[in-house]
Amino acid sequence: MTKLIRFWFTFEHSTTLPPTLKLGCGITGYNYEDALILLKQKVFKGNEEIVIKDCVENINLTNLDSNHILPNILPPNFRGVWYPLGYN
Protein backbone atom coordinates (compact mmCIF):
# COMPACT_ATOMS: atom_id res chain seq x y z
CA MET A 1 0.00 0.00 0.00
CA THR A 2 1.33 3.45 -0.93
CA LYS A 3 1.88 5.81 1.96
CA LEU A 4 0.18 9.21 1.88
CA ILE A 5 2.02 12.37 2.92
CA ARG A 6 0.53 15.59 4.35
CA PHE A 7 1.78 18.85 2.83
CA TRP A 8 1.23 22.44 3.95
CA PHE A 9 1.64 25.10 1.26
CA THR A 10 1.90 28.84 1.82
CA PHE A 11 1.75 31.42 -0.94
CA GLU A 12 3.17 34.81 -1.86
CA HIS A 13 0.57 37.48 -1.11
CA SER A 14 -0.87 39.08 -4.24
CA THR A 15 -4.11 40.51 -5.56
CA THR A 16 -4.81 37.20 -7.31
CA LEU A 17 -4.54 35.11 -4.12
CA PRO A 18 -8.03 34.10 -2.98
CA PRO A 19 -8.75 35.13 0.65
CA THR A 20 -9.32 31.46 1.53
CA LEU A 21 -5.64 30.72 0.83
CA LYS A 22 -4.08 33.49 2.92
CA LEU A 23 -3.40 31.12 5.84
CA GLY A 24 -2.20 28.32 3.56
CA CYS A 25 -3.43 25.10 1.99
CA GLY A 26 -3.28 21.52 3.27
CA ILE A 27 -3.06 18.67 0.79
CA THR A 28 -2.43 14.96 1.22
CA GLY A 29 -0.80 13.14 -1.68
CA TYR A 30 1.45 10.23 -2.57
CA ASN A 31 4.45 12.56 -2.97
CA TYR A 32 5.28 16.24 -3.62
CA GLU A 33 4.52 15.96 -7.35
CA ASP A 34 1.12 14.39 -6.64
CA ALA A 35 0.32 17.17 -4.15
CA LEU A 36 1.27 19.78 -6.78
CA ILE A 37 -1.06 18.15 -9.30
CA LEU A 38 -3.93 18.31 -6.79
CA LEU A 39 -3.04 21.92 -5.95
CA LYS A 40 -3.07 22.97 -9.62
CA GLN A 41 -6.24 21.03 -10.52
CA LYS A 42 -8.41 21.64 -7.47
CA VAL A 43 -7.15 24.91 -5.98
CA PHE A 44 -5.40 27.00 -8.65
CA LYS A 45 -7.77 25.91 -11.45
CA GLY A 46 -5.60 27.49 -14.13
CA ASN A 47 -4.58 30.57 -12.12
CA GLU A 48 -0.85 30.50 -12.86
CA GLU A 49 -0.31 33.82 -11.05
CA ILE A 50 -0.41 32.18 -7.61
CA VAL A 51 3.16 31.63 -6.40
CA ILE A 52 4.11 29.00 -3.81
CA LYS A 53 6.16 30.56 -1.02
CA ASP A 54 6.88 27.45 1.05
CA CYS A 55 5.92 23.80 1.43
CA VAL A 56 6.23 21.69 4.57
CA GLU A 57 6.25 17.94 4.02
CA ASN A 58 4.81 15.72 6.78
CA ILE A 59 3.26 18.74 8.48
CA ASN A 60 2.50 18.18 12.15
CA LEU A 61 -1.11 19.31 12.52
CA THR A 62 -0.47 20.61 16.02
CA ASN A 63 1.71 23.31 14.43
CA LEU A 64 -1.30 24.76 12.59
CA ASP A 65 -3.56 27.49 13.98
CA SER A 66 -5.90 25.85 16.50
CA ASN A 67 -8.51 28.62 16.25
CA HIS A 68 -8.87 29.07 12.50
CA ILE A 69 -7.37 26.11 10.66
CA LEU A 70 -7.85 22.97 12.77
CA PRO A 71 -11.62 23.41 13.35
CA ASN A 72 -12.06 23.77 9.58
CA ILE A 73 -10.22 20.82 8.06
CA LEU A 74 -11.32 17.61 6.42
CA PRO A 75 -9.69 14.36 7.57
CA PRO A 76 -6.08 14.69 6.34
CA ASN A 77 -5.56 10.94 6.09
CA PHE A 78 -7.21 10.78 2.64
CA ARG A 79 -5.74 11.95 -0.67
CA GLY A 80 -6.93 15.44 -1.52
CA VAL A 81 -7.31 19.00 -0.27
CA TRP A 82 -8.15 19.12 3.44
CA TYR A 83 -7.75 22.87 4.01
CA PRO A 84 -9.36 25.17 3.16
CA LEU A 85 -12.77 23.59 2.77
CA GLY A 86 -14.51 23.67 -0.58
CA TYR A 87 -11.67 22.64 -2.89
CA ASN A 88 -11.96 18.85 -2.77
pLDDT of residue 49: 82
pTM for this model (two decimals): 0.93
Q: How confident is the model at residue 9 (pLDDT cuts 50, 70, 90)?
A: very high
- Between CA 88 and CA 84 the distance in angstroms is 9
Indicate whether 48 pLDDT > 80: no
In this structure, which amino acid lies at residue 63?
Answer: N
Q: What angle do CA 82, 63, 66 make, to 5 degrees?
A: 70
